[in-house]
Structure 1
């Protein structure tokens, strides 16, 4: 059994609760911000400082109608999370984080496939959507290898809103990526 298959068999998924908020913030921050994020490959530390999210932001996702924040555990410990949100015939995928020391071993691929399956089973959606900072070319390429395609549809980065971090450059924007699920 390869590493990804073994990893998939060991993972459990559940919906996050309010009691998970602080642990989820810590996980998300560790994957994207500060020195701890540099042990993984998903770091945004070179383009954004400050926070990636906060307890209120996590609670908003947990409590929003049509939204699920999936907690991914192995051996009872939190190792990853992701959001799926129902948006008509599509689902939105976001707030994806894998513990930095576990990145690069195939977990992300397994988790995103599970999120796509859960979104299809839960809402019958035909497409998964996400937005990614365009400066994150390596991350976009990773999603393209998972079947996502760039749409060219761009959205401005929320400059001035410290809830999303402190930009270290002035050219940040998001691009919509999509993947057909059926």
Structure 2
């Protein structure tokens, strides 16, 4: 579906998108290239953020979709949406580093919230963010998400999620009512 006001096209990812989506997510969070944008995790995590198997798993999961956002035929953003009963989970959110800070992320998250409300009838959106990511958490708080204080440990030793460059990393649950 194209949004004429933004020139963006929103669609569910397919198997053919896997490599492009892995590259997008990696560019937004890891390595030197990610430092162009403000969402980089390069100072806290090394290694990969995701891989083709992880992206394909999200695409194929029955209660999940990987919303893919294009501008002029080029993938510029994505996010995972997973139906979990009365709420939806929002994850794997990535915006091309060169386009960060220009409002694209706000448009994508607003569309994601609209879709889960309309398609699944959920009343809340949940996400987890690494608790030391203060700028990112503040950005989500400005969009109506609230910290819950509920945390889970970072999966140290599982390099599918990256190689931590510091100790004490945790994921914190953020929640937003969608009513």
Q: Normalising by structure 2, report the TM-score.
A: 0.97
Q: SS of 1:160's equivalent?
A: coil
Are positions 1:173 and 2:170 aligned together? yes
Structure 2 counterpart SS, 1:158: coil
1:30 pairs with 2:27: yes
Counterpart CA distance in 2 for 1:8 and 1:133 is 33
- Maintained 8 Å contact 1:8/1:110: no
What residue is the counterpart of 1:61 in the other structure?
58
**Structure 2 spans left out of the alignment, 5+ residues:** none
The aligned counterpart of 2:103 is 106
Cα distance change, pair 109–160 in 1 and its aligned pair in 2 (3 A):
same
The answer to whether the 8 Å contact 1:90/1:125 transfers is yes
Q: Which runs of 5+ in 1 are unaligned?
A: 1-5
Kindly indicate whether the alpha-carbon contact (under 8 Å) linking 1:72 and 1:81 is maintained by their aligned counterparts in 2.
Answer: yes
1:38-93 CA distance string (max 9 Å, x none): 00000000000000000000000000111010110001110000010000010000
In the TM superposition, structure 1's runs of 4+ consecutive aligned residues that sit over 3 Å from their partners are none
Distance 1:174 1:165 in 2: 14
For residues 72 and 35 of structure 1, the distance between their equivalents in structure 2, rounded to whole angstroms, comes to 24
**TM-score, with structure 1 as normaliser:** 0.96
Aligned equivalent of 2:114, options 105, 117, 142: 117
**Number of positions where the alignment pairs a residue of Structure 1 with one of Structure 2:** 177
Partner of 2:78: 81
CA displacement at 1:121 relative to structure 2: 1.0
Structure 1 Cα separation of the partners of residues 48 and 5 of structure 2: 30
How much does 1:143 deviate? 0.1
Within the candidate set 3, 10, 14, 2:11 is matched to 14
Q: Which residue of 2 aligns with 1:150?
A: 147
